[in-house]
Amino acid sequence: MRLFVASVATETNTFSPIPTSLENFREGLFARPGEHPEQATLCTAPLVVARRRAKAEGWTLIEGSCFWAEPAGTVSRQAYETMRDEILGQLKAALPLDGVLMGLHGAMVADGYDDCEGDLLTRVRALVGPKVPIGVEHDPHSHLTRARLAASDFIISFKEFPHTDFVDRAEEVVELTLRMIRGEIKPVKSVFDCRMIGSFPTTLQPMRGFVDRIKSLEGKNGVLSISVTHCFPYADVPELGAKILVVTDNRKDYGDRLATELGMELWGMRGRTTPEFLTPDQAIDQGLALNEGPAVIADPSDNAGGGAPSDSTQILRRLIERKVEGAALAPLWDPMAVRFCFDAGEGGRFKLRFGGKTAPSSGQPIDAEVIVTKLVREATQNFGAATVPLGDSAAIRIGGVEVVLISKRTQALGRDLFTNLGIDPEQRRIIVVKSTNHFHAAFGPIARKVLYVDSGSSIPRDHRQVPYTRIQRPIWPLDENARPHLV
């Protein structure tokens, strides 16, 4: 038995001012066959799981390339086609195959390609033929397009946001593909289009209960898998929107009924799945009002994980202007400022201009006399089983405010983002993290209170402010006449 696995993944914010090149994938993950480490990353878990099972069960896994780039703007055509054609070439050389496994984020857009995953899977299908099972893992922040549904046998998305379950879902992708190869199951897809754009952190009700209920429905009545596509709101592509995908063992009618029931339930939650968003000053006030820290203030509007620059200064400026004591913010992406800090050295005190560089939404740079408190070459942070590089990083202090400056753009994920730079977040009154909800896995447990801010940076929390021109309408909350329906 021979299976092929590969991965190409990024989350494209078509409104982001930062272009995505092949170089950005080289700086992210660029693992050629056999080069992938034993540790799974968010979108390469199918490879790691399949590698382990192939070894244990005595079948052959042919490893293709794995590519991942930190979310940013549209991928260049040359970069996408290079990676795609490399994977297709490896696949062609590996034929004949019994199955294909793909780790795809599911929200990649390239010049000339609104639906990279649909394009890739269609070409994979053409090479392997109609009978070879193709199992796909997706991030829920993806576009569940017709092309990728038609080309694959099934897609399984992470259920949790923060995505703490990427390895668990990969186990299911591999298991279902193997069962399909053995002729034990016949996956059939039912899709419900909720006609809505939203954000759905699973740390909050009612979404928490919804995901728990979905889990309890799997493995019964022929239900193989249920996925909620949250949608990725910051892409101007026609098939954007929240969807429910139910995969049954050849029980199409039941799957359609269940997808409709769950889709209408999600539709009924619209407007109630996100936290309250405060202004920077409101959040600082609430944080300072607590007797004990830390208050964790999240700024999703500058989340690098959603393609934002992560160099906005709106909250930081207020912390400095208000002379807040015991506050720390991370990460702030500014490679040039990091370089200056290394030149100044640990303990160095100098006038630094930092942040506010990438776009108007980043605000103005901060000019301040800073003290360099810690320098780390090739710093990292952890997110579940994954180690995420920060590049050369510097901790600086301005009065009572500390900032972690990083060179490789990424969002706040682990507490070691602070501790590796000499800052103990548990000992601070206010911790500001640039992240939508992934921060919650590590920072939720130490937070006296979690507060969410819309600082007005590049990813608006009110989706009616996103300047879409190409998405299919009507869709909530842009249109009151949106009507959810079975696909």
Whether 3 contacts 99, CB under 8 Å: yes
In terms of CB distance, is 141 or 317 closer to Zn ion?
141
Q: What is the smallest separation between the CB atom of 30 and Zn ion, expressed in angstroms?
A: 21
Please pick, from the candidates 125, 141, 169, 189, the single residue that binds Zn ion as defined by CB under 5 A: 141
Instruction: Determine the 3-state secondary structure of 63 from DSSP.
Output: strand
In terms of CB distance, is 155 or 320 closer to Zn ion?
155
Please pick, from the candidates 117, 139, 165, 334, the single residue that binds Zn ion as defined by CB under 5 A: 139
Q: What is the smallest separation between the CB atom of 354 and Zn ion, expressed in angstroms?
A: 28
Whether 442 contacts 381, CB under 8 Å: no
Distance, CA of 161 to CA of 409 (rounded, Å): 20
Q: What is the smallest separation between the CB atom of 459 and Zn ion, expressed in angstroms?
A: 13
DSSP assignment string, 318-358: HHHHTT-SSEEEEEEE-HHHHHHHHHH-TT-EEEEEES--S
Q: Specify burial of residue 3 (Cβ count, 10 A radius: 0-12, 13-18, 19+).
A: buried
Structure tokens at 245: 């995908």
Q: What is the smallest separation between the CB atom of 113 and Zn ion, expressed in angstroms?
A: 20
If one asks whether residue 334 binds Zn ion (CB under 5 A), the answer comes out as: no
Distance, CA of 138 to CA of 391 (rounded, Å): 27
Of residues 330, 355, 309, 242, the one with CA closest to residue 459: 309
**Which range of residues in 64-72, 121-129, 138-146, 214-222 is near Zn ion by CB under 5 A?**
138-146
**Which range of residues in 83-91, 107-115, 131-139, 396-404 is near Zn ion by CB under 5 A?**
131-139
Q: What is the smallest separation between the CB atom of 139 and Zn ion, expressed in angstroms?
A: 4
**Which range of residues in 56-64, 83-91, 140-148, 194-202 is near Zn ion by CB under 5 A?**
140-148
Half-sphere exposure of 38 (CA within 13 A, CB side): 2
In terms of CB distance, is 133 or 198 closer to Zn ion?
198
Q: What is the smallest separation between the CB atom of 199 and Zn ion, expressed in angstroms?
A: 10
In terms of CB distance, is 25 or 340 closer to Zn ion?
25
Q: Specify burial of residue 70 (Cβ count, 10 A radius: 0-12, 13-18, 19+).
A: buried
Convert residues 217-256 into a mask of x (bound to Zn ion by CB under 5 A) and - (unbound): ----------------------------------------
In terms of CB distance, is 115 or 402 closer to Zn ion?
115
Contacts with Zn ion by CB under 5 A: the residue count is: 2
In terms of CB distance, is 141 or 159 closer to Zn ion?
141
In terms of CB distance, is 157 or 177 closer to Zn ion?
157
Of residues 416, 412, 476, 419, the one with CA closest to residue 439: 412
Q: What is the smallest separation between the CB atom of 131 and Zn ion, expressed in angstroms?
A: 32
Distance, CA of 235 to CA of 238 (rounded, Å): 9
Q: Which residue has the closest beta carbon to Zn ion?
A: 141
Distance, CA of 103 to CA of 11 (rounded, Å): 13
Residues that bind Zn ion (CB under 5 A): 139, 141
